[in-house]
Chains A and B, each alone.
Chain A
Amino acid sequence: MVQNHHRGCHHQDHQEIVRENKEKRPKFFINDHVDILIEILKRLDCRSLCVAASVCRLWCTIARNDSLWENLCFRHVSPPPSSLRSVVLALGGYKRLYMGCVRPVQSRLGRVRRASWARDEVQLSLSLFCVDYYERLGGGSSSNGRLVGESSPSSLMFLCKPVNV
């Protein structure tokens, strides 16, 4: 009994020592440092960003922020004109632009891409994105000749289908 008590005392001391050491080291949770988190997420590619969005609510909110996707769209391109942002936001935002147009365009054209084409790819994506927005506008009103029940715009469908190589 006496021996056990001794051992218990030692164990308690040990625990206190460990706790003290822990308190001396600063605890680092990435979620406390949102600016660092944003810097890291800014550099991710599309797939990793989508995976990051499913980690926790904070990460999800950050990953959905349009400026991260803007970064993704223009990563390999010289900085776009300042008027571009208002146009893209009006047409549906960078995330939609990237997922709907830029990504399929870049992956399809990747086989034949030359360095000078990157800007043209973005231009083409923008044009297609604009047509898509226009069709989405029309989807709301039923009196413009679309078949009943066909509410989703389909002019970008050809981008979604797998490439027949």
Chain B
Amino acid sequence: MSLHDSASSAAGSSSGSSSSLSSSKPPPSSLQQDIVRHLAGAGYTIRSSDLPQVAQRLERLETAMGSSPADFFQLASDAILYNPSDLASWVDSLLSEFTQLPTCCFEFILAPVDNAWTTAELHEPRVQQNITYEQQSLDRQLTVVTAMEEDSDIRLVHKLMACAECVQRGDFSSATSLIDDMQGLLARVNTVCGIRKVAGHFIDALSRRIFLGIGGGSVDGCGSAFENEILYHHFYEACPYLKFAHFTANQAILEAFDGHDCVHVVDVNLMHGLQWPALIQALALRPGGPPLLRLTGIGSPSPDGRDSLREIGSRLAVLARSVNVRFAFRGVAASRLEDVKPWMLQVNPKEAVAVNSIMQLHCLLISDPTLNSPIETVLNWIRDLNPKILTVVEQEANHNQLDFLDRFTEALYYYSRMFDSLEACRVQPEKALAEIYIQKEIRNVVSCEGSARVERHEPLAKWRRRLSGAGFMSLPLGSNAFKQASMLLTLFSAEGYSVQENDGCLSLGWHSRPLIAASAWQAMPEPGSCVSCLE
């Protein structure tokens, strides 16, 4: 029971408190007198004869507040101040406020309890008679409180589905009204936890789709490269997904480079180059000494003329020099991955090549029949490099379905799990910026179509088929990678992360639902070369 501090000082009300002057009632017990004295010391006047009634009404008030939080906020904002120093009348006035509120707030409460409530109020409560009956209804009301919170979550999800369905049908007017409903619902409940936070982002994405159109997202969706880098960096800090991706890929690359003296890594999207320091250090310490390492980083050209690729390259070179690894860096600026040609990478035939793609290949899955399929183009030039290993890390989700509603449903559950996992992060502002990073993905998946939609995630099974069809065969990741990934996860403060091994591929998930999957591939030998072996 929370007693609000009353502005009226204790002095004024303590005088008339402890005396119970009505002589017709039985003399108050010493316990009751003590309670009255303590309450008086806190500034509340109450007659000890009223104590049982007031206690019981306070309990009813508490359940009434608990079962209709929305109306309670309205109550609080109406700002009628009752003087709580006279406890009995204060509780009575508040209770009467609650009973006068419209009955819509009780629609979630089960019917029998509803009857119990209204009958109890209509007949002026005779406390002694109704105590046992109300005790039962109190218990049921208490369980209803938690059911109601879950209930509003379920209502929110149903409304989201209904809205997505309207959008798919083209019924924008009902979609808009549903969006208004949902925003009203969100405004009244606590949006800090659970599916509600994600729901806010999905509602935003849906309204963008409706009002800005399906291409409208692309203009805003890019942001500047600078902003994207910052968001990516904070996403790296806040949760283990990118760290898992980097460490697992590095382990696979390290094992593939075993025994080679000239190695060449092609990174399909360099970003800040956060993956490579660990590989450089591991190569520096490998038994037999470090190889000559060449790194080719592909990235989009920076609009303001900064040569960001070169800056990253020189930082990596400084690091490599400190640990005595011979290192050479080359940057390839290309706005689209399919524009890169193998000759730009200058691969030496004697060196072992590794190609690394962290969450990049899915951007190429645009299925436009007029263009050459970009994914095939890219996989072909990767194949032409004859890599010793191709590491692919992708989100484990099916966000590339043709049907909008299916895509929406899948995205809702995927991103709510991701947000759940982010809850454990305690580091601000990393957490907030990581959420914005994820929000951009959500926006792209839900509100964009055609070439604007770049977040076309596909599950591991589909990638397996695609890569096998393009001439690659699976390379199992090994127990070292698994051990390292498990250790890495143990370091993170949330207890819900789990690593699973799936036919040679590792996936990181939240509560055993995989969210990101890492796999390794190598080029299948050409059929021609097999013939020459036989001769």
Using a CB-CB cutoff of 8 Å, which residues 26-66 of chain B contact chain A?
Answer: none
Cβ–Cβ contact A109 & B424, under 8 A: no
Per-residue 0/1 for A76-100: is the Cβ within 8 Å of any B Cβ (1 yes, 0 no)? 0000010110110011000000000
Residues of A within 8 A of B319 (CB): 130, 133-134, 137
> Is B493 among interface residues, defined by CB-CB distance under 8 A?
yes
Cβ–Cβ contact B282 & A127, under 8 A: yes
> Is A40 among interface residues, defined by CB-CB distance under 8 A?
no
Which of A121, A146, A147, A164 interacts with B494 by CB under 8 Å? A164
> Is B348 among interface residues, defined by CB-CB distance under 8 A?
no
Beyond the given A127-B278, A164-B426, please list 18 additional residue pairs across the A-B interface where CB-CB is below 8 A.
Answer: A83-B284, A83-B285, A87-B281, A87-B284, A87-B324, A90-B324, A109-B487, A112-B490, A126-B281, A127-B247, A131-B278, A137-B315, A141-B311, A144-B311, A144-B312, A145-B229, A155-B237, A165-B495
Chain A interface helix/strand/loop/mixed: helix
Closest beta carbon of chain B to A85's beta carbon, Å? 11
Beta-carbon nearest neighbor of A131 in chain B: B277
> Is A62 among interface residues, defined by CB-CB distance under 8 A?
no
Per-residue 0/1 for A89-124: is the Cβ within 8 Å of any B Cβ (1 yes, 0 no)? 011000000000000110011011000010011011
Per-residue 0/1 for A35-72: is the Cβ within 8 Å of any B Cβ (1 yes, 0 no)? 00000000000000000000000000000000000000
Using a CB-CB cutoff of 8 Å, which residues 380-433 of chain B contact chain A?
Answer: 424-427, 430
Cβ–Cβ contact A145 & B493, under 8 A: no
Cβ–Cβ contact B427 & A87, under 8 A: no
> Is B318 among interface residues, defined by CB-CB distance under 8 A?
yes
Residues of B within 8 A of A124 (CB): 484, 487-488, 491
Residues of A within 8 A of B427 (CB): 154, 157-158, 161
User: In the complex, what distance in Å separates the CA atom of A18 from the CA atom of B492?
Assistant: 64
User: In the complex, what distance in Å separates the CA atom of A91 from the CA atom of B491?
Assistant: 22
Known A83-B285, A91-B323, A143-B306: A159·B226 in contact at CB below 8 Å: no
User: In the complex, what distance in Å separates the CA atom of A86 from the CA atom of B282?
Assistant: 13
What is the number of residues of chain A that contact chain B, defined by CB distance less than 8 Å? 43
Cβ–Cβ contact A158 & B237, under 8 A: yes
Using a CB-CB cutoff of 8 Å, which residues 244-268 of chain B contact chain A?
Answer: 247, 250
Cβ–Cβ contact B322 & A91, under 8 A: yes
Cβ–Cβ contact B491 & A120, under 8 A: no
Cβ–Cβ contact B426 & A130, under 8 A: no
Cβ–Cβ contact B277 & A130, under 8 A: yes
Per-residue 0/1 for B294-321: is the Cβ within 8 Å of any A Cβ (1 yes, 0 no)? 0000000000001010011001101100
Closest beta carbon of chain B to A129's beta carbon, Å? 8
User: In the complex, what distance in Å separates the CA atom of A100 from the CA atom of B205?
Assistant: 41
Which of A91, A121, A164 interacts with B487 by CB under 8 Å? A121
12 contacts between A and B (CB under 8 A): A86-B323, A91-B322, A124-B491, A127-B282, A131-B278, A134-B316, A134-B319, A145-B229, A145-B230, A145-B233, A154-B237, A164-B495
Cβ–Cβ contact A134 & B277, under 8 A: yes
Most buried by B among A133, A145, A155, A157: A145
> Is B369 among interface residues, defined by CB-CB distance under 8 A?
no
> Is A162 among interface residues, defined by CB-CB distance under 8 A?
yes
> Is B158 among interface residues, defined by CB-CB distance under 8 A?
no
User: In the complex, what distance in Å separates the CA atom of A108 from the CA atom of B495?
Assistant: 12
Cβ–Cβ contact B278 & A81, under 8 A: no
Cβ–Cβ contact A87 & B285, under 8 A: yes
Residues of A within 8 A of B425 (CB): 158
Cβ–Cβ contact B487 & A120, under 8 A: yes
